[in-house]
Structure 1
Amino acid sequence: MPAARITRLTESDWAQFADLRLRALTDTFGTSDQQYLTEARFTQTDWQRRLRDHAHFVVALAGQPAGMVAAYQQSTETAYVYSLWLDPDARGRGLGRRLVAAALDWARRRGVLTATLRMAPDNAAARTVYEGLGFTEVPTGGAAGEVVMRLTLR
């Protein structure tokens, strides 16, 4: 397996981010999904704003983007982790765990106390990643069809 490199994207990486995000949406939902249709119309400014407002991390294999995760600080105490995705060829190599760990490290450096996320209840691979990092399911749960998980960072 080629060495994996995880980096945080900046506004200047907007084109790479746009390509990777649209790949992720296509793989997950297809090109007729409303979220894909909305984001496919984003301008350079839209992509740069998203990179400015939230922390986006990408994993590259042999120099090619193969996955991503995002996080943002909801409050002084809470960060929200979202949009974990790996290219199908990159799955099963522990890269999801490394991506989420990068987002959690970012949150810790910002002094955040708790990280939360939502996931589909049938996504066993994601659950394994999250639980392996210490996330636990919040009993109250989220909206219908999703699981909410939480991790205390300190």
Structure 2
Amino acid sequence: MPTAAGLHLADLLARPGPYRTRWVRQVARATPAPVNQAAVTRVLAQWLWANGEGEESEMLPRTLRDRVSRALGGRLLSAGTLRLFAAAFGLSEQDEARLWSLLDGPPGPQSDCAPARPGGIVPDMTTPTPSATPPSSATPPAAPAPAPAVRRLAADEWTRYRDVRLAALAQAPEAFGSTHAREAEFTEERWRERLAARNTVVAELDGEPRGLVGLVTAGEGETELVSMWVHPQARGLGVGDRLVRAAIERAEELGRPAVRLWVAEGNAPAERLYARHGFHRTGQVQPVDDEQPGRGMEFAMARPAGG
């Protein structure tokens, strides 16, 4: 029996709008079908590669192609596959909620609503596991893994800001112009000043901080995205995309919708993340750290007003 969630997802991707635009950009060969599954698969693959799930390749993983075929064909849409589509296509809260409501209805004979493994995407189950209990008393499907909560830090949350920032500098020193040793010496007053000067957004999972991004004023009508970091255990869950979207929305609220940022040379996953949100290279380059030229170079990316 076709799954309502899978058919609704296919309909969302076929409608004119941002979801369709995203996969149409990947079309290499036109097909008579309403949705080009190869193009959709490439969108999902690029999101996975950008979030550290495997190495980028011209060959699309067969398992991923199979998942797309089953989902859009209405045969099987798992919880893990739905989470992947939501992150890769930036599904709106309304559309995502509708899909979950369809998925969490009475499970069909091939339903797969297993929760995600920590730090990863649930693989599809090609063959359903037989149940020892009759269908009428089957155990309800597990709830989907919680989505990261994204919010601005309040002025008095300087200790949380400090802890997440220092964790980022310790875990990914190559990604930042500053260093853990330098900022570990900051006083409470300095941390409070920095938090007050930056529109800092934190991503939390189960109440624990798992990502950070800041936004500072730059040139006329511009803002600069800074301090972007996602905890390794939260990568592949859409945290980076949510943080970037939150920063862009805040820039628009401030009346400074043009956003720029710097990316360390060689950080391809970060560049792909920003490119998904309309950023492009400007051609500007500079040292990551003026005081330590040996740390390498970084390049500028910009997103014009209106994206």
Normalising to structure 1: TM-score of the pair?
Answer: 0.91
Task: Identify which range, 33-42 or 57-66, moves more after superposition.
Answer: 33-42
CA distance in 1, matches of 2:271, 2:192: 30
Tell me which amino acid in the other structure corresponds to 1:89: Q
Determine if the alignment matches structure 1 residue 103 to structure 2 residue 255: no
Determine if the alignment matches structure 1 residue 77 to structure 2 residue 229: no
Bigger CA radius of gyration:
2
Is the CA contact 1:77–1:113 (under 8 Å) kept in the aligned structure 2? yes
Runs of 4+ displaced beyond 3 Å: none
The residue correspondences of 1:44-123 to structure 2 (distance < 5 A) are: 44-123=188-267
CA distance in 1, matches of 2:148, 2:286: 35
1:143 aligns to what? Answer: 286
Deviation of 1:2 (Å): 2.5
Unaligned residue ranges in structure 1 (runs of 5+): none
Aligned residue-pair number: 151
SS at match of 2:146: coil
Tell me which amino acid in the other structure corresponds to 2:180: Y
SS at match of 2:272: helix
* Percent pairwise identity: 32
Is the CA contact 2:248–2:257 (under 8 Å) kept in the aligned structure 1? no
CA distance in 2, matches of 1:26, 1:44: 19
Deviation of 1:3 (Å): 2.6
CA distance in 2, matches of 1:34, 1:102: 23
Deviations 1:54-112 (A, max 9, x none): 11110000110001011111144110001110110001122111101111111111111
Tell me which amino acid in the other structure corresponds to 1:143: Q
Deviation of 1:113 (Å): 3.8
SS at match of 1:11: coil
Alignment RMSD, CA only? 1.7
**C-alpha spacing 1:93/1:34, structure 2 compared with 1 (3 Å):** closer
CA distance in 1, matches of 2:154, 2:245: 19
Is the CA contact 1:3–1:62 (under 8 Å) kept in the aligned structure 2? no
Unaligned residue ranges in structure 2 (runs of 5+): 1-144, 288-296
| Structure (1/2) with the larger strand percentage | 1
1:42 aligns to what? Answer: 186
SS at match of 2:179: helix
Normalising to structure 2: TM-score of the pair?
Answer: 0.47
Tell which has more relative contact order, 1 or 2 (C-alpha 8 A, sep 6+): 1
